[in-house]
Chains A and B, each alone.
Chain A
């Protein structure tokens, strides 16, 4: 893993020295803040109190609001990573340094995950604010953020692979969005299909149900296996792709 730390640092530098990360963070927080406002308003106006539903639970699942920013943010964060280097030729300098392909892929990937986490970090303040006016179950907050990190990490892995497959950032972003949408739609099959093996398969892969579970504090190991698959498979293919350039 020689060179991993250097690549990670340089990628984080690239995110935060260009306006990209900051612009995204501003837009993202604006959107999330608005969603949170809507949720709190909604629950505040409700007469009846349901035990496992509240603004915190709804923030981490059960509504479509969670997935919109994910769909926007993940492709944008990863589209650059390989596509830009290959277009500008800097990949040649990178790959002729004494570093392994695994270090290159993981360095870039982890930088995107950390940036993604940095986008979400300020939303922790929402929970702090909420806790001053009501009860917040911090275990739910914990599982909620873990789930967001896991799902995002999967999408970012898909994005990293897309970026490695093309020299155009735009193509990479589009391929990522389409793949993520298809994955999401596949999970929705859980509600659309008749009972049977196909439906069962869909329910295992359902992001919707996963977020619902985690936002209620339910951590199911089958979900974790699914997340690990969505993270590791694209990363593995990315490493092979980077290796394959040497033979192109």
Chain B
């Protein structure tokens, strides 16, 4: 459905998108991940046909956004990042205008607008002036706009940015519902969002592809290689004991404010054995009568994410071509920073 091929975008001297290639197959829900400023919005704008690329190609359903812009754009429902709307219009007026603009025939326009409003959860807000809507409802209008012409492909740029937790959940539920009938590319800088809604993730940082793969494969990346413990009691003995434990590479104290307690970081030699090592460690600590108050594996997806996207330059590329391929996880290994 989307093919991004060797995309580059320069803003003057700034290389915003650097040799980015990935594909989104029909029916997939792909999370487009990256920290702020990674080039997500720039990439989506190029895919949506708002910006031209410096080089490279984007195909929508086999149509180039450069050579066949109108046909390509007709297949896309795009919600820009800040969700800009005409604030002086009423919701229904705006959506009718958008439907007409997108070529929905007059006969079906009214029904299309009603359906989009229903899908986006805007029932009852037909006559509200957009300028008077809250941020969450404006976001819904943006989503309804993306849906109104029933495009096969949805591009949602940070649809949950700036929403409260309830609204975030609603948007996630909506994306899930829409995934039954649409191919979706949704950008975000929050990993849990991808876990909640997507089947696959594409991670970029500084305009470059960092990793891409199915959700399970991304999850596999998050095996914990560090565990944080909060202990009470004879922590000196506990430390000595833990240092001698099989599978523990080293133990590092963490700053901790509460008297009589200590926080330690266990760096493991093998992340695959994390569960087993933790189990043994806790057993030994119990034998020493050291209170274990907290065990936190520090391999959450968030950590993987920051590890993947942190500032240091990649030392080795595991694959020569940056072309994204189906279900394969490709990770450009980065120097592991000393935790």
Contacts and interface: CB of A to CB of B under 8 A. Distances in A.
Interface of A: 2-3, 5-7, 9-10, 13-14, 17-18, 88-100, 246-248
- Give the bracket for the number of chain B residues in contact with chain A: 20 to 34
A99 B74 CA distance: 9
Contact of A96 (B49, B71, B87, B97): B49
Contacts of B80: 89, 92-93, 96
Interface of B: 45, 48-52, 70-71, 73-74, 76, 78, 80, 82, 84-89, 93, 97-98, 100-103, 145
Contacts of B97: 6, 9-10, 13
Most buried by A among B70, B76, B86, B101: B101
Contacts of A9: 97, 100
Contacts of B103: 2-3, 98
B11 to A, nearest CB: 9
Contact of A97 (B71, B84, B86, B98): B98
B77 to A, nearest CB: 9
| Chain A interface, DSSP helix/strand/loop, else mixed | helix
Contacts of B73: 96-98
A97 B101 contact: yes
Contacts of A98: 70-71, 73-74, 101-103
Contacts of B52: 246-247
A96 B48 contact: yes
B234 to A, nearest CB: 60
B45 A6 contact: no
Contacts of A92: 45, 50, 80, 84
A3 B102 CA distance: 7
B334 to A, nearest CB: 32
Given A9-B100, A92-B50, A97-B98, 18 more contacts: A2-B70, A3-B103, A5-B100, A7-B101, A9-B97, A10-B101, A13-B89, A17-B88, A90-B86, A91-B84, A93-B84, A96-B76, A98-B70, A98-B73, A98-B74, A98-B101, A246-B51, A248-B51
Nearest to B99: A6
B93 A13 contact: yes
Most buried by B among A10, A14, A88: A10
A95 B52 CA distance: 12
A78 B85 CA distance: 20
A124 to B, nearest CB: 30
Contact of B102 (A90, A97, A100, A248): A97
Given A6-B101, A7-B101, A98-B74, A93 B85 contact: yes
A7 B145 CA distance: 16
Contacts of A13: 89, 93, 97
A246 B89 contact: no
Contacts of A96: 48-50, 73, 76, 78, 80
